[in-house]
Structure formats: C-alpha cells, structure tokens
A and B are shown apart, each in its own frame.
Chain A
Amino acid sequence: MVSTLSKNVLRHILLFLLSFFIAFPFLWMVSSAIKTKEEIWHFPPTWWPKVPQWHNFIEAWNSAPFGLYIFNSTFTALIIVCLQVVNSSMMAYALTQLKFKGKEVLFFSILVTYMLPVAATYVPSYILLAHLGMLDSYQGIIVSNAVSVFGIFLIRQAFMQISKEVIEAAKLDGAGHWTLLWRIMFPLGKSTIITFAFISFVQMYNNYLWPSLILSSQEKFLITIGLRQFFIEDGAYGIKWPLVMAASTFAIFPLLVLFFVAEKWFIKGIGDRGVKG
C-alpha cells in the first residue's frame, strides 16, 4: 500500500517536472514579452517583470501586419484542408470500393510517395508554379498542397474498417457510389476525418519552407514567414527581444488554444490511427 502511494507521488512529481520543462519556453516567452529593455538584458534573469509591460503586445501587433499574416495562414490552411479531405475521401473510396486495373500500382506509388522527402519535389514544383503564373499567390500555395498522401492513407484505413454489411445494405437500398461515399462512409469515418483535418490544419498553418520560397510580397506572407521577417529585421540585432517574444506569442497562441479546445479528439485520434498497416 505504502509503496503504491509513494510510487504515485513519485509519478506526479516526475510528470509535474517534465510538464514544467516542456511548457517552460511558452511561459518564458510570455514573461519576456512583458519585460522592459533593462529587465530583459539583466543577468541573472528576472523571472517576472516588476511592472508587466502589457503595452508591448500592442506595440508588437502594430509594428507588422500580424493580423493579416494570421488571416492569410488560417484562410489558406482552411481551403487546403477542405480540398484534401474531399479528394482524399474520393481516392480512398476508389481504393477500397472500386475494382480497376492498376489499382495496386496506384496504391504502391502513393505508399512510396509517403516515404519520400517532399523537399525533393521543390525545384520542379517551383518551376511548374512559375509556368502557371502562380508564384507569389494564394493559388500557388493552395494548388501545390491540394493533395495529402497521409490523408489518403488515414481515410483509406477508416473506410476499410466499415463493416461490409453496412455497405452491402446501402447498395441493396439502391445507393450509388456518390451516395454511398458521402451519405454512408464519410459520416462513419467522421472521427478519423476530423483528426486528419486538425493535423493537416496545424501543419499548413505552421508550414514555412515551401511557402517562403514561393511567396514574396509582404501582404501575402503567412504568419511563419512574417514572424521570421520581423525576427531578422528587429530581433537579430538584439534590441527588440520583448517585441519579438510578443510577436511569437501571436503566432503560437491561436494553435495552443485550438489544441486545448480539441485536445481529446486530437490526441485520441492520433493514437488510434493503427500502426498495423
């Protein structure tokens, strides 16, 4: 009894310390954001400013169009996620319900794609977007991310778990492919699809390298690019760290809120995506 109790106490102490360590950069970011210039350059560091400079947030918000950047990221990510959900579902439907020549080859090609580094496609994709006149445009970002190999896998997996009886029954009731996919299978695969949508949204919102290659005008920047721009303009010279930390808070905060609201779905959904395949 005593040993179980002490084990549990030990478990909590360990978890508390680990959680503190993991969350610490976020706390440090906020505490640094509201320091004065003198406080932030003080060594040893002060944990919390004497007088929190909350106006630093307003000043940071006004020193670059962060609202616009966040809007750009959210807007493009949402469109991309919708496209990916629709076309991954359709592809997954074809892979699980339709019989056709070359299905194995198609699935194998997608499987290989999943393993290969996306960066290896950047040069030709860049050239292609240049030819299409889509460099420095939202269309370029959206079109080049319109498909998710991960989504195809995940939704295919979900569709395979739907019982044959349900599908047969729907067919006997006269459901065509379109009805079967959107009215029966899509709702049944809902939890996987929502998980996928979350993950994909987070990845698109956080995406940096590829968008930074194709976007060049400031009003089209995503938050990641805008933040980096702000960092190298002002932060690297070591004068405006509080503002840089405030700006990082803007970039990180929406996602942390989204995550803590949807946390149960998110974590369970990721864990459930079978590892057997």
Chain B
Amino acid sequence: MSEKQNHSFFTVLIYISPALVPLSLFWFWPMLYSLYISFTNWDYMSPTYDIVGFRNYLNLFGDPEFYRVLGNTFYFTAGTVFPTMVGGLFFAVLLNKEFRGNHLYQAILFSPWVTPTVAVSIVWSWIFQPEVGLANWLLSLFHLPKLEWAGSSTWAMPMILIVTVWKGVGWAMIFYLDALKKVPKELYESAETDGASWWSKLIHITIPLISPTSFFLAVILMVDALQAFDQIQILTQGGPAGSTRTLLYLYYQSAFEQFNMGEATAVATILVLLTAMLSLVQFIMAKRWVHYE
C-alpha cells in the first residue's frame, strides 16, 4: 500500500467506531439536540411542544434573577480559579527540591482531589455548622462573632469557595511542580551572579517560564468551575435566597426539578457559549503573555 493512500474505510471504521458511537450518542448529538430543545417550550411530560423561537432566551435575559446567577457564576469561577492557582504554585515552590518527606507532603496535599466531593462536602458542612462547628470555634479564638455560613447569603459562597479551593489546590500543585522542574537551572544561576533577589527571580524567571502551565490550568480550572455542582448541592442547595445558585445549578433546577426543558437547555446553551468565549479570550491573551520555549 502506498504511503499517500488512505486506509480502507472498513479498517478505519473498526478502529474509530467503539469510541465514535458513544461519543456521537452522548456528546455530539446531545449538544445539537439541546440547542434545538432550547427553542421549544417542552415540559418533558407532554408528547407535544411548540417552537417558541428565542423566547426562552429572552425570558432569561429579561429576568433580574438570571443576572444574579450569572454574577454568582463569575464570583465562584474567579474565587476558585485564582486562589487554586496561587496556592498550587506556592505548594510547588516549597516542594521543588529533593528532601526527605517530599513525597509524603505531596501525597497529603494532593489527597483531597481523590476523594468524592459529596463526602468531603458533608464533612465540611459539619465543620461550618453554625452553633458548634470548628470554623466558628476558630473565629471565637480571635474574638470574632460566629457566622451563619450556609445560612447567610454573604458567607455561603465564601464557604463553598474554601471547600473547592481546598479540594483542587493539590491538583494545581502537581502541574506546577512539573513545570518548575523544567525551568533551566542556569537561568537562576546567572540571575544570582547579577544579585537578583528571590522575589525578582520568581517574577522575572519562574512566572514567565511556567506561563504555559498557568494558561493550561486557568482553562481547565475555569471549565471545572463552570460545572461545579456537588459541593453546592450538599452545602447550600443554591441558597440561601439563591446566593449560591450558579448557571449549572439553575440548569439542574429548571431541568430536573421544574421540568422546564426549554429554559434549562437555553441555560445550557449559554453555559456552552460562555465556556467557549472564556476559553477563546484566554487563548488570545495567552498569545500575548504565554512564553513558549
């Protein structure tokens, strides 16, 4: 067979279909079908429905509650992505050296990522218990008033952020550790002979050289943040008064609690567009500041 010739259709089909069939059924087709449902008023129960055009979208965009959900989503995304990255980098800088116990520290710092979000959120909900919880005991040590946490529309979101960052920071650490190992030692040495401080080495050498990893993490963590659900359902169910309801939670409620499939899939479409847009913005920004070798 000559190199340029395509492989036979049948051979290709054998290799791609085991993945392509489920991929089409549970990814490609649902994406398109979801878009279609978003233009209907289907309620899942009735066999018929009407095409309502953009009404679901217009309803959403005309509803002040939707903007609050959008705001919560941005709050959650920014409030988890940045601390997770900064924390991960901090851990990695501390561990970027061979010494006794290094691997044990790594394992402990990473361990929350392995555990079920549902289970650890239940444990955290006990820690944030308003009357006798450990979090409020800590506050009392500093003579601060007890907080209501899950019961307060101001503190419910920070509580969820703490749990989410706690769970993800070890994950970011692993990627940064790998990136730090790849920074050429000579760069630091020559900077040291120029008398550069620890801080200026970090700002001028480390951070620019690990920027591809930062970029990668920013995209991945953001996509994850837009899909966070488990910890929200366990800790607050989107409350109090909708203060922790994010786009995905709104989607879940409209689809599987109210069976308003048209509205739910419109939310899903907005979620997809938002993810795509944010990824795109990051790719454009990456061109300006990510330093590839």
Contacts and interface: CB of A to CB of B under 8 A. Distances in A.
Contact of B116 (A109, A110, A255, A275): A255
Contact of B122 (A149, A235, A264): A235
Contacts of A90: 14-16, 18-19
A88 B19 contact: yes
Contacts of A106: 16, 20
Contacts of A51: none
A62 B264 CA distance: 39
Interface in A91-150: 91, 93-94, 98-101, 106, 109-110, 113, 115-125, 127-128, 143-144, 146-147, 149
Contacts of A147: 19, 22-23, 26-27
B7 interface: yes
Interface in B81-109: 91, 94-95, 97, 99, 101, 103, 105-109
A199 B107 CA distance: 15
B123 A117 contact: no
Contacts of B28: 109, 113
B248 interface: yes
Given A118-B227, A124-B37, A231-B234, A44 B264 contact: no
Interface stretch (A157-165, A184-192, A220-228): A220-228
Q: Which of B28, B114, B178 has most chain A Cβ within 10 Å?
A: B114
A248 B279 CA distance: 36
A25 B118 contact: no
Chain B contact surface mostly: helix
B114 A256 contact: yes
Interface of B: 4-7, 9, 11-12, 14-16, 18-20, 22-23, 25-31, 33-34, 37, 91, 94-95, 97, 99, 101, 103, 105-112, 114-120, 122-124, 126-127, 129, 131-132, 134, 137, 140, 166, 169-171, 174-175, 177-179, 212-213, 216, 219, 223, 226-227, 229-230, 233-234, 248, 251-252, 255-256, 261, 264-265, 268-269, 271-272, 275-276, 279
What 5 A-B pairs are tightest by C-beta distance, nearest first? A121-B30, A124-B30, A271-B178, A87-B18, A94-B15
13 contacts: A23-B111, A99-B6, A117-B272, A120-B271, A202-B114, A206-B115, A223-B116, A227-B116, A227-B122, A259-B114, A271-B175, A272-B178, A275-B175
